[in-house]
Structure 1
Amino acid sequence: MIDKGALAVSQEVISYLDAAPEQAAAREEHVVILPGSGCTKSMNQAFAKDFADLGHRALCLDFSGHGESSGDFADLTLARRRDQAAALIEARVPAQRPVILVGFSMSGQTAADLIEILGERVTGIALGAPAIYPGALREVPFGDPSFLQLLSDPQTWTDSPALAALSAFRGKALLLIPEHDEQVPASMTELIEQSMRANPRFTMQVLPGADHGLDEWFGRHPTVRRTLITTLTASP
């Protein structure tokens, strides 16, 4: 069963979907799917349903300025994305329940930010075509010209707090790389991979034929999607 809801976060109304397992004995872990920049929860609805079919309650949101949420994309920041996702988890996931994070594109950074907040509650992550951002950009609105100006300098990427969070993470960790990524530079992906390889439970998979838009790509490839879910949620 998939329901839609709305959550007030600061001055925004954040739209989300909640996919609940039909069976009574649901798995303990809750899954939170974090869309990429410009993407919406509807693109990940099939993903959420598949998680629910395997016994996991799954949540997915529209960040402000996206989909059915309020707000303007130009006013959104990395910090607000983090806070909106954290607020959804606080509101919809019972306290102390473990969480699995699935983050695409810009939400690679958001997932890493949530690891810093949730700590050991995060038992697994899957990052698809992830991007990371220097700490200096955390509070800069996306519509500010300085956002892209600073991000365009590769020397700033090593200042991303995501690298330390991913390096320290010891839950199950999957890095999903599209065969053709026209947005995330290969050198940024290499930085992310190097950090995640510190984790003995790390796995990387290249997705043949895929491009950067993995939110939509997984929606068109149910077999690959379900295999990923099985891999991510399998017991150690």
Structure 2
Amino acid sequence: MLSAFTHDHDGERLSCVGSGGDDAGAATAVLLHGAGNGSKERLLPLLGDFAARGCAGLAFDFSGHGESTGTLGGSSLRLRFEQAVSVIDATVPAGAPLILVGFSMSGQTVADLARHYGRRAVALVLCAPAVHAAEAWPLPFEDPEGTARQDGPQAESRFSRIIRTPDSWRGAPALDVLRAYEGRAVLAVPTRDAIIPPAVTRAVTDALFARADLSRLELPDADHLLGLWFRDHAEDRQRLVDLALTGLGSPVRPAAGA
């Protein structure tokens, strides 16, 4: 059963949902939504599917999203990472294995968490993931004091300028993390993705192919918003969970009828 709770971090109150696993050693599936109007709400069916397979589950709204406090413009990739670590450390038993599931911008956060938690990250599930240049990581999504420009009231933020610069992602530290990762990995790829450049997806694929046990899930009819797609397509959701749990063994049990 999923239970709602809140977690306070650095002056913000984060809205969370969690469930216990079949036993104290169960892997915890941590689901991280994307940017824009993303929220944990659309990920709850996927969280329920992980829970039905014996996993503990955890999802939350980053600050400025969903039911959490804060502003989207005041957030950053660093803050998203720090919030995720704070929620995980307060909720998941110390040393318990983690299945890290990230959508879009949270592909970057999954890589950050994989570096932070090391071998505790037994599976990475990347859904239309983004990776970003190191210089973008600490910057707020919107500059605290925008400057006037001729064609609008506020200049483009430094963060936006960096991530919109062609090929700025090529030196992303996240790619080094994924290249070194040796656990289970799933890359979910919508063929109608108008947000993530194909070159980014190829780079993520190549990085994971280096050492990870990688499966690639192609979704021919899906667009970039895979949180909504999996919410509405139960069969694809089950395929994603099946791939994520392949080879992990106990305490994760096989799907019924498998």
- The TM tier, using the shorter chain, reads over 0.9
CA distance in 1, matches of 2:80, 2:103: 13
Unaligned runs of 5+ in 1: none
Deviations 1:3-49 (A, max 9, x none): 1111111111111100335xx54762111001011311111010111
Q: Which moved more, 1:186-195 or 1:124-133?
A: 186-195
User: Residue 32 of structure 1: SS of its match in structure 2?
Assistant: strand
CA distance in 2, matches of 1:200, 1:229: 17
Unaligned runs of 5+ in 2: 144-156, 249-258
Residue 219 of structure 2 is aligned to residue 203 of structure 1: no
In 2, are the aligned partners of 1:218 and 1:225 still within 8 Å (CA)?
yes
Residue 164 of structure 2 is aligned to residue 152 of structure 1: yes
CA distance in 2, matches of 1:209, 1:106: 21
Deviations 1:173-195 (A, max 9, x none): 11111010011111111111111
Match of 1:191 in 2: 203
Match of 1:217 in 2: 229
Match of 2:154 in 1: none
**Number of equivalent positions:** 234
Match of 1:106 in 2: 105
From the CA coordinates, give the structure whose radius of gyration is larger. 2
Cα separation, partners in 2 of 1:200 and 1:31, compared to 1, 3 Å: closer
Indicate the percent of aligned positions where both proteins have the same amino acid. Answer: 35
Deviations 1:149-169 (A, max 9, x none): 111223321221100110000
User: Residue 74 of structure 1: SS of its match in structure 2?
Assistant: coil
Choose which of 27, 31, 34 in structure 2 pairs with 1:33.
Answer: 31
Give the CA deviation at 1:203. Answer: 1.5
How do residues 48-63 of structure 1 correspond to structure 2 at under 5 angstroms? Answer: 48-63=47-62
Give the CA deviation at 1:117. Answer: 0.7
Match of 1:231 in 2: 243
User: Residue 55 of structure 1: SS of its match in structure 2?
Assistant: coil
Match of 1:87 in 2: 86
In 2, are the aligned partners of 1:26 and 1:55 still within 8 Å (CA)?
no
TM-score with structure 2 setting the length: 0.87
TM-score with structure 1 setting the length: 0.95
In 2, are the aligned partners of 1:9 and 1:84 still within 8 Å (CA)?
yes
Deviations 1:196-227 (A, max 9, x none): 11024111121110000001110001111012
Amino acid at match of 1:101: L
